[in-house]
Structure 1
Amino acid sequence: MSGATHGTAPGPRLYDRTAELAAVARLTDPATGHGGVLFVTGGPGEGRSALLARAADDFPGTAHRIAAPGHRTPWSGARALFAALAPAAPDARRALRTARSEDGLATAVTGLLGDRPVLICLDDLHLWDAHSRAALAAAWRAGGPGRRGPRWLVSAARHHRPPEVPGAETVRLGRLGPDGARALLGALCVPPPAPPVVRRLVEEAAGNPGVLVSAVRRLTPAQLAGGAPLPEPPVDGAVLAEVYGGFLAHLPADSRRLLTVVALAGRAGDEDAGAVAGRTGADVRGGPGAPRLAGVAVDAVLGGARATRTPAEPLEGLVADGLLCRTDGMLRFEDPFLGLVVLASAPAPASGCHGVRRAGAPRPARTASALARGESHRADRLGPPAAVRALAPVVRGRSQLVRGLAALAGGPVMDAHEALLRAAELLRDRAPDEASDARFLAMEAAWAGGDVDACLAALGCGGDAGGTERDFLDGLGAALTVRLDEARPSLARVVARDGAEDDPRLLLRAGSAALVLGDTAAAARVHARALARARAEHRTALLPRALEHLAYAELRAGRYSRAARTAREGLRTAELTGQPNVAAHQHAVLALVASVAGDGLAVAEHAGLALGTARPHGLAQAATLAEWALARAELGSGLVAQAAARLVPLVRAGPRGGHFALRMLVVPCFVEAAVAAGRAAEARSAAGEYALWTAQGVDRTAPALLARCRALLAQGEEAAYWFGEAVRRHDGCGNDFERARTLLAYGTWLRRRRRPGAARGPLGDALVTFERAAADGWADHARSELRATGGAGGGAADPTAWGLLTPQQQRIARFAAQGATNREIAGRLALSPRTVDHHLRGVFARLGIRSRVELPGLADRWEAL
């Protein structure tokens, strides 16, 4: 988003917009002395943004324009709004916190603006995130007619229905009349075009100002003057794509595919659609010579969808949104230009459309631009609201369910939550099983997005649920509001009942309940059963989700090799079934497993791939796992300050912090890094909160890790006591890797206090455990500490140590011993400096040294052996 403040310079000329400008004048009239809301709706190219720009420029006070967001992560819209209203970052952050409180966005805006006369112009409301839209609607309703406050001018696409706000006015932009189009054309061209050119362009553009501007922009002066022929056609697919392309890009992929089926069937006329399928769409026109997009029978569209394996579920939503009109069993595009753009963008050859026939459809009587012209475009059509009322709730609910599933698989996760929540409401009375699925999926979407309030909203919409589902809703709601004593009995019943079922959906629910209870072994067992049932029933689309749940459960249980194997399979199935959000989570799991193994390059690769999807799609859980993996790799490499800085946001509470279900799991790692980096105060604060969480009893390993945190923060013999407690409490926890990390920290502490004999026992035990877990990086660290005590492998002149290095490590060690920098070594060996650094750390660990300063003497001695 972007925000801009405008002064009082004269605004751009608008043509044929008398009624719309009058509505803006009523909103901005200084004599009223109070705020208000005006919604402006319109189709692509009809000038919504131009009207907002004119209003902002003409407003006598301060005006702010905030453009549409580039993504829909939760609260991204509100964040940009506050940043525009208060350039000082602390004020914007404080306003965002207020917006999420009970006082809401209205209080936050008032706090930023006071009583100043301000006009706030919000563009493309339909592209804002659901959280910000809901908060804005609440703020507008709270303002009420006649109250003081800012004036809001809000634009949205025609198919988006603005919220109901008392006292608000809505104007709908339409096409320009012939006089308005000619006036706009005269303003665009100096000198004015030749009269025949004007007549042709006005006719072809059919009153759409954006199409007219786009068509004129590509004409030469000679063509405008009539001295050279106009392109044929003047309005083709390229012109329309410039105006409508962005609108299409924001539609779900399945909706675009279904629109293509409708466009191809309507284009065919009385021909077989297969004869049209091989055309590229380069000849698509908007004027009198345009291809005819006739109405097409609904049954023909459904048959074409089946033939091309295109989901038909979005059809009802497209009708409800007003993009398609349905009359007497026939479908047509509400805006013929949109149909032509869809046709122009159809893949070539579209062989899958063979057999799509406009069965029973009348012959087309008008061209597309003829349909667009005339005065009918100014009348308010009853299509979208009437269509919504005519559709059965179960049909609308299933349409929303399909939308939600698509977004959950590969789109902004909070969009999925919104659609699934709506599906649950619509299906509740007529399809209770589907409504139950929608509720659970909405909760999963909110969980993946790290939004506790949205999780509770999904749980709260199941007011009529009973039995095990009621236990799940009540138990998880209690857990999310930190009432774990109330949560345990309900969730335990879910694990017992659903965990014994054969339905993979119920098994996934039981596994989720087990994870919330902290029973990672049960969670892994139940999710493994869900995976087996999904495979047995050939439920291909469900497999990636089952593998995602199982990989995470195995990760939480400390079964890292199993988690890696499951995640790799899950990654393959997610990619094959087109579910990038699931793939991002599996990359995050693989990054964490690689951080256990100490493979810094693999950590960076998988974490980068996870974050590449997680950040734009709002996957807070996957993003937190990936960042945690990067920090653990940095900690294992001795980059303690960098690791601590990366972990700080992950352990922080609130919207700018880490995922709510992972925050406490990250604390022990943060305490270790923060203590080593000299940030003891922050570490102590985090450990105090971790102690309160540990007392809840939801993680078997937590008591041991808490003791380790206390040991790292303690001094003298108190630290020795807590290390001993940590080792004792690790027994029976089932996570050998964390036990080995505690032993490594304990042995290192003993060695640094000149107690090498006492240190060898914990360090040797840690080394054996790391080697068994294939945690090579951590094993090297333990081996280095052990050598430093004078234990096994501690002799600096061990003739076998140099031989343990790989040939590449030996080459790098020789160059480093000669004084070459990492960048110089990288240049000589065609590597990256980062790879050289990774190999050098392995060299230091193998040779039992701490820095490259010790390399020259050792290299000479080993070469001489």
Structure 2
Amino acid sequence: MRGASRVAAAPRLYDRASELAAVAELSARAAEGKGAVLLLTGGPGTGRTALLDQAVRHSRIRAHRVAAPGGNRVPWSGVRALVSALAPTPSAARRALRAARGPGGVPGALAALCPGTPLLLCLDDHHLWDAHSRTALDAAWRANTGPWAWVVSFAAYHRPPDVPGARLLSLGRLSREGARNLLDDVCRVPLSASFRTRLLDEAAGHPGVLTVTAARACADPEDADGSSGPVTDDASLAEVYRGLLDSLPAECGRVLALVAVAGEPHPGTGRSDRGAGGPDTLRPVGADAVLAAARAVRASPEALDRLVADGLLRGTREALRFDDPFLRRAVLGTVPPSRRRELYALFSPPEAAKGRGAAARTAHAAGPGAGTSPAPRRSPVASAESASAGLPGASAESAPADVPGTPAAAGPARDAGHRSVRFRAPAGVGAPAGEARAAEDVRGLPGVVRGRAELARGLAALGDGPVGDAHQVLLLAASLLREGAPEEASDARFHAMEAAWAAGDPEACAIALGGAGFGGERPGSLSGVDAVERDFRDGMCAALAVRLAEARAPLARVVARDGASDEPRRLLRAGAAALVLGDAPAAVRVHARALATMRGTTGAALLPRVLEHLAYAELRAGQHERAAAHAREGLRTAECTGQRNAAAHQHAVLALAASVRGDAAAVMEHAGRALGTARAHGLVQATTLAEWAVARAELAGGLAAQAAARLAPLVGRGPRGGHFALRMLVVPCFVEAACAAGREAEAGRAAEEFAVWAALGLDPQAPGQLARCRALLAGGGDSADWYREAMRQHEESGSDFERARTLLAYGKWLRRRRRLVEARGPLSDALVTFERAAAGVWADQARAELRATGGPVGRRAAPGAVGELTPQQQRIAGLVAAGATNHEIADRLSLSPRTVDHHLRNVFARLGVRSRVELSGLLSRGSGDGRRLDR
């Protein structure tokens, strides 16, 4: 791993004039102070590294090539290599690395190391860089600041970095003239004309094949000229393709070996197609035969799915073939002839039963890396869309901990005993990646294979794409998997429901769950599923159709059964059911269990989804700071795994938490980031949460009219309305803003609809919020009664923040009616609660109102103020000072713990203290040890 301003020596390049011109143009833009990114892809041996070396060598500006860090992908190792190449000293490199990990990111580090200096930065093998470095670089490229030209190479069959506006170049084969010139350059001794002609024909312009074969021929020219076989032998091709073969999972290597060997018309000869062409001479290989043989060599059917989705294999159900004929021969070059015959026997019906035992014993030798070759290591891009992202059967050991660029939404994972699906969106050799090609490649394959490929596409869109597209693709996957793989079809339906939920389409949610919308059930759509899943479907469909009496019993059974599971898929399902039932504490408990289960594995891509659900449940439970902490962790993981949709939801949660604290700057920052992705990808849920957070910050800052205008669409119905599951949660905030802005008629209509919803019992905070809305709308003497009713309801629901908002509104109402002494109690209590919650802006409002009443603001109560407490409050305060807990005090005074907590909050507000320690100190100063109050 090194970076140098010049490369000491580099081979000549042929037929790469357009690519070098593109790099030169990029460098010229950097010299003018304009940054840009060029993406460079190619198959094994096409010369990506050589082109980067040449670009660095002939650059007119300062240039560096930084290779992918070797060994394990240590977090930030790539950025460390980059800044080390630029820094004059190790200490400067360490400072730059700290800057790159800070708010300024990679651009800040580069600006500190090379202020104003144009740079050509060539990053080799981007697909092998660690997740943290890739995420930081992606952010730098999107920002496009600084005079830096980036040339980023990555291997074919890997998804390119998502850089808007970046140019993508694919390194193809050489022309005949270019191939001749390359041979002249690499051959140390002259080769015979016949050998050169045969080599040029067989290599078909492949630079790596030409170079390796010519080097071997030059080492022994007499043997090469006298050979009657192909000049491009399988061992040479295995050397060229070694990096790709070693990066594949072992079972994918075994399946490749099966397909390669099965195509041999004469397995005893060891090879059939001699050159780059010749696929017509191969025996047709059917997908069903490969799947049957795969079981004998301990390879799962999902390995074939991945190879087809990646583009390494193509064709129809009846005839699979290698996309690159050289790759087939390279695979054969890693399998000894004796092993080939054993594998070939698996495709011969009379000998299949005899051959399977031997093939199973030699399963590990069947794939690339068999024999004397190193054992295949796990792919550095081993499909986070499956193992990490929690596709059916994802096991802990199958998922790298820091998979970068993962597009898939982290869905629920099945137990380790179920089969694992492993495939990514395809990327062809010399062509841009695209999901359309995957659909073409699997069109003729069995329904299960096609269904799994569509499931991968749908999950990719669910994690980082329009959720409407994800919904349709996942429904297609469910229909394809329904007969052959009913459990995977169930997972596809669950993900399709998640996509429709994020899009705010309740009828599409019902359809995805297996019903025919709100009109009825689709017959036979849930055959082969368990009772709990049927309960989930029935309960969710009833809830979506607002038939809550029918929904409660089945959803409660889901929470009871799945909530005790150790499987993340079932726990997430139970948590979703708890949220629909309005049981926020149960939802927090279940999602926390899911998080603990996930943290016991090495998977990373499922964490953003688990943390997103947990943070939202904590918001519903009023635990705003905990929700913010989990959302921050989920945001980091979502960014590392490339899940922009999950990141948008986390930003929305952080915006809501910041609106409670009154941090307007944080609200605007997180809401803006959430809306940037949510509006483009149709995330109505994230959009509603972000807009709600902004409006709440505006209301806290005194901008009631602006907040009411922002919230009005969210509480309405229709295409401009908010998310169907969030509309009613937004109403109390809208009523408060609308009443302050003089829009009482709209507030009244919204409150009447909210009253109907509150009566359903889906939110324990709703009765208190409804009473507050009634108080705001009453305007006369009835308001006091409604405020008292609201506080009584808040005491039962236990929401401190909502109770403090009601106390603030009540205190304002009393002060405006010149009832100053009465107003001081509610305002003092509200002030203490807001200060506890670090809700700065809300506390400022309460403090200003309290100051207007002439009450004490910001002063500690004198010890003599204890005498102003009621006898009950004095007894409770004395027991607290003596070290008793609320439960102990409740037992001693025959009260409920909730009543003790209510009295204690009033004591804090009256005495101006914020903690039990301060209360104990105050009482000790007034009475020695404070124990006289507890008698």
CA gap of 1:389–1:492, structure 2 versus 1, over 3 A, is: same
Partner of 2:904: none
Corresponding residue for residue 463 of structure 1 = 526
Query: Which residue of the other structure, out of 446, 454, 475, is the alignment partner of 1:392?
Result: 446
Deviations 1:355-414 (CA, angstroms, capped at 9, x unpaired):
xxxxxxxxxxxxx99xxxxxxxxxxxxx99997563111111111111111111111111
In 2: Cα distance, 1:536 partner to 1:731 partner: 38
Instruction: Name the structure 2 match of 1:330.
Output: 321
CA deviations over 1:795-844 (Å, ceiling 9, x no partner): 9xxxxxxxxxxxxxxxxxxxxxxxxxxxxxxxxxxxxxxxxxxxxxxxxx
> Quick one: distance in 1 between partners of 2:161 and 2:208?
29
Deviation at 1:569, TM superposition (A): 0.5
Q: Is the 8 A contact 2:834 2:842 kept in 1?
A: yes
Instruction: Give the AA of the match of 1:454.
Output: A
Q: After superposition, where does 1:671-820 map in structure 2 within 5 Å?
A: 671-793=735-857
Instruction: Say if 2:811 and 2:823, in contact at 8 Å, map to a contact too.
Output: yes
- Supply the distance in 2 between the matched residues of 1:432 and 1:527 (Cα, whole angstroms): 26
* Amino acid corresponding to residue 536 of structure 1 in structure 2: G
Cα 1:479–1:259, aligned 2, differ >3 Å: closer, same or farther? farther
Q: Match for residue 484 of structure 1?
A: 548
Q: 2:480 aligns to what?
A: 426
Q: Secondary structure at the match of 1:731?
A: helix
Deviation at 1:512, TM superposition (A): 0.3
Q: Displacement of 1:353 after TM fit?
A: 12
Q: For residue 596 of structure 1, what is the aligned residue in structure 2?
A: 660
Aligned partners of 2:587 and 2:617 also within 8 Å: yes
Residue 436 (structure 1) aligns with = 490
C-alpha distance in 2, partners of 1:612/1:788?
42
Instruction: Tell me which residue corresponds to 2:42.
Output: none
Letter in 1 for 2:247: A
Q: Does 1:447 align with 2:501?
A: yes
Indicate the SS of the match to 1:545. Answer: helix
Give the distance between the partners of 1:323 and 1:394, measured in 2 at CA: 16
Query: Which residue type is aligned with residue 857 of structure 2?
Result: G
Matched, 1:307 2:247: yes
For 2:560, the equivalent position in structure 1 comes to: 496
Q: Which residue of 2 aligns with 1:536?
A: 600
**Which letter does structure 1 place at the counterpart of 2:526?**
G
Shift of 1:329: 4.0
- Evaluate the alpha carbon distance shift between residue 401 and residue 598 of structure 1 in structure 2; reply closer, same or farther with a 3 A threshold: same
Structure 2 residue identity aligned to 1:535: R
C-alpha RMSD of the superposition:
4.1
CA distance in 2, matches of 1:586, 1:697: 27
Tell me if the contact between 2:310 and 2:438 (Cα under 8 Å) persists in the aligned partners.
no
**CA distance change for structure 1 residues 680 and 570 in 2, over 3 Å: closer, same or farther?**
same
Distance in 1 between residues matched to 2:310 and 2:598, nearest whole Å: 32
Aligned in 2, Cα 1:404/1:275: closer, same or farther, shift over 3 Å?
farther
C-alpha change, 1:456 and 1:268, in structure 2 (3 Å) is farther
Letter of the 1:304 counterpart: L
Query: What is the CA-CA distance between 1:420 and the residue it aligns to?
Result: 1.5
Conserved? CA contact 1:274–1:353, under 8 Å: no
Deviation sequence 1:686-733 (CA, Å, 0-9, x none): 001001111111000000000000110002111111111101111121
Residue 661 and residue 312 in structure 1: after superposition, are their counterparts in 2 closer, same or farther (change >3 A)?
Answer: farther
> Is contact 2:438-2:453 (8 Å) kept?
no
Say whether residues 1:611 and 2:685 are aligned partners. Answer: no
TM-score of the superposition, structure 2-length normalised? 0.48
How far, CA to CA, are the matches of 2:211 and 2:583 in structure 1?
Answer: 57
**1:408 aligns to 2:462 (yes or no):** yes
Structure 1 position 587 matched with structure 2 position 651: yes
Q: Deviations over 1:104-154 (max 9, x none)?
A: xxxxxxxxxxxxxxxxxxxxxxxxxxxxxxxxxxxxxxxxxxxxxxxxxxx
1:473 aligned to 2:537? yes
Q: Give deviations 1:20-58, integer Å, cap 9, x for gaps.
A: xxxxxxxxxxxxxxxxxxxxxxxxxxxxxxxxxxxxxxx
1:73 corresponding residue in structure 2 = none
Change beyond 3 A, Cα 1:621–1:389: closer
Check conservation: 1:313, 1:402, Cα contact below 8 A.
no
**Post-superposition shift, 1:541?**
1.6
Residue 504 (structure 1) shift: 0.7
- 1:404 is paired with a residue whose SS is helix
Between the aligned partners of 2:305 and 2:683, the Cα distance in structure 1 is: 26
Matches within 5 A, 1:247-262: none
Aligned partners of 1:323 and 1:756: how far apart in 2?
A: 81
Quote the Cα distance in structure 2 between the aligned partners of 1:571 and 1:586: 6
Change (3 A) 1:388 1:324: closer
Shift of 1:259: 13
Q: Decide whether the 8 Å contact of 1:611 with 1:626 is kept in 2.
A: yes
Say how many residue pairs are matched.
484
Letter in 1 for 2:625: S
Query: C-alpha distance in 1, partners of 2:840/2:439?
Result: 63
Work out the CA distance in 2 between the residues paired with 1:691 and 1:268.
75
Q: CA deviation at 1:786?
A: 0.4
- 1:666 is matched with which residue? 730
- Which whole-Å CA distance do the structure 2 matches of 1:260 and 1:315 have between them? 21
Q: Distance in 1 between matches of 2:458 and 2:661?
A: 37
Percent identity, please.
62
User: In 1, distance between residues paired with 2:513 and 2:545?
Assistant: 12
Conserved 8 A contact 1:651-1:667: yes
What is the alpha-carbon distance in structure 2 between the residues aligned to residue 487 and residue 259 of structure 1? 54
Aligned residue for 1:460, secondary structure, equals: coil
Per-residue CA deviation, residues 635-665 of structure 1 (Å, 9 max, x unaligned), is 0000011000000111011222100000000
TM-score when normalising by structure 1: 0.51
Structure 1 520/717 Cα, relative in aligned 2: closer, same or farther at 3 Å?
same
Contact map agreement 1:261 1:301 (CA 8 A) in 2? no
What SS does the aligned partner of 1:330 have? strand
Cα 1:721–1:268 shift into 2, 3 Å: farther
